[in-house]
Structure 1
Amino acid sequence: MDLEQTVAVLLSKNEQLGQENHLLKSMLGLVKENVELRSKMQSSNTDTLEDITVCSTSVRQATIKGSDRVMGEVAYQLDRRIMSHIFQGHKRLYGFTLLNIPGKIKEVSTHPLTGKVDEGYQLHLIQRHADLMKKLNKVGYKTELHPSFTEFIVNHYGILKERPGESSDQAIDYNNPNFLMKLIMTKAPRELKRDLLVLLTCLCTMADGDRKALLLW
């Protein structure tokens, strides 16, 4: 490996570590906030407890309602899009996540009664997964980081409670990459913006590839 290649590898690794550091800081902040809230609740009397609980609930609802949930929806839609691409012949994908793809590939390629593995089908799924990851890696997706990040975003923000009407202004906005990019830039915490934009870019890449709408229901 020559000097230029070494530098490129180091820069790439540094970027990855930076992304992981941002994510860990964000998670730590949420945990710290939760611990502090519990501490306040335990040290207060009953009336104060009720006030804090109501306040906390209101803040949480304000945090994840409306447009904020769209960020969780983007992450969720990317998760489902990747699953549908890899496991193309499977309509029911309950329990399939970005974090358990290898295990699910093994599961669906194994006969439920005989336990015999269809090695040809297993190889086919492995190759579909590898090809897709190679494509998404080109737009910033990191297999070591973004599956966990996607799960974190969905759990934190939730997803849309109701589907927008097919021809509604919301449906038009939610399928507009520029609208979603601006939403992330204005609503997301600074430490999450870069990786949320990576998820959005991946979703746009997949939508462009299969010539379907950005968000599918």
Structure 2
Amino acid sequence: MASYESLCSQLEKLRCENAELRMMLDIVKENYDLQSKLSTQTIDETVGREVPTDSRKLERLVGEVAFQLERRILFHVFPGQARLYGFTVLNIHEKIIQVSRHPLTGKVDEAYRYQLSQRHMELMNKLHALGYSATLHGPFAEYIVNTYGILKQRPDPYSAEELGYNNPEFLRNVIIKIAPSKLLKDMLCLFSCLCFMARQDGKPLFLW
């Protein structure tokens, strides 16, 4: 018979899982409502008056969304890694092997490798529910960053610009205005994943 502590632990786990499911459902519903709106209105009618006219900065914002999601995934999988230079979503498996091997002896820390692999698998399962595929959206995110660039400098703290960058509705409207129709669906998928991860960890959309 399960102990009281075990039952409490299982109950708490179920509560956390239900909270994550609610977040996912909210995000999916937001995207569904958005797609419905776009099917009956032109993009210009929907967002034309809601975003600034500096097109180059808006393009960089689109690239920044893809860049921020990539960093967020990497920071989640490798929470103790001080530097992530050379780390990408596409080479996560290689990097898990690399960081779990002692640099001098070459001995593998199997427990640490398993821990990182589990973090990666659990996150991918959650993002998959939002339509994310690492094999598709990993190179897609790199393409978006290379095509649109990223922000050259972070905004001043507490400025209107910083508030805008962390406003989901504002960023969604920027994506709709800038991304061509053939890229829009996958770009909104990246954005949904970024929103989910931000809600999950309670941090701003953009981490500087």
Range into which the TM-score falls when normalised by the shorter chain: 0.7 to 0.9
Aligned residue type for 2:174 = L
The number of aligned residues is 156
Distance 1:190 1:213 in 2: 27
SS in 2 for 1:99: coil
Distance 1:118 1:64 in 2: 48
Q: Which sections of structure 1, spanning at least 5 residues, go unmatched?
A: 1-62
Distance 1:143 1:96 in 2: 14
Distance 2:195 2:124 in 1: 14
Residue among 198, 201, 209 paired with 2:200: 209
Larger Rg: 1
Distance 1:187 1:65 in 2: 10
Task: Tell me the equivalent position of 2:20.
Answer: none
Residue among 160, 167, 172 paired with 1:169: 160
Distance 2:180 2:156 in 1: 29
Q: Which sections of structure 2, spanning at least 5 residues, go unmatched?
A: 1-53
Distance 2:140 2:98 in 1: 24
TM-score of the two chains, using structure 2 as the length reference: 0.73
Residue among 92, 100, 118 paired with 1:109: 100
Q: Does 1:190 align with 2:184?
A: no
Q: CA RMSD in A?
A: 1.5
Task: Tell me the equivalent position of 1:200.
Answer: 191
Aligned residue type for 2:76 = H
Q: Does 1:67 align with 2:54?
A: no
Distance 1:67 1:170 in 2: 12
Q: Does 1:130 align with 2:121?
A: yes
Task: Tell me the equivalent position of 2:73.
Answer: 82
- Give the Å deviation of 1:144: 2.0
Aligned residue type for 1:98 = V
Query: What per-residue deviation string (whole Å, max 9, x for no partner) do you get for residues 85-114 of structure 1?
Result: 000011111110011100000000001111
The answer to whether the 8 A contact 1:175-1:214 is kept is yes
Larger RCO (alpha carbons 8 Å, 6+ apart)? 2
Q: Does 1:91 align with 2:75?
A: no
Aligned residue type for 1:190 = S
The answer to whether the 8 A contact 1:64-1:158 is kept is no
Q: Does 1:142 align with 2:133?
A: yes
SS in 2 for 1:167: coil
Aligned residue type for 2:96 = I
SS in 1 for 2:156: coil
- Give the Å deviation of 1:120: 0.8
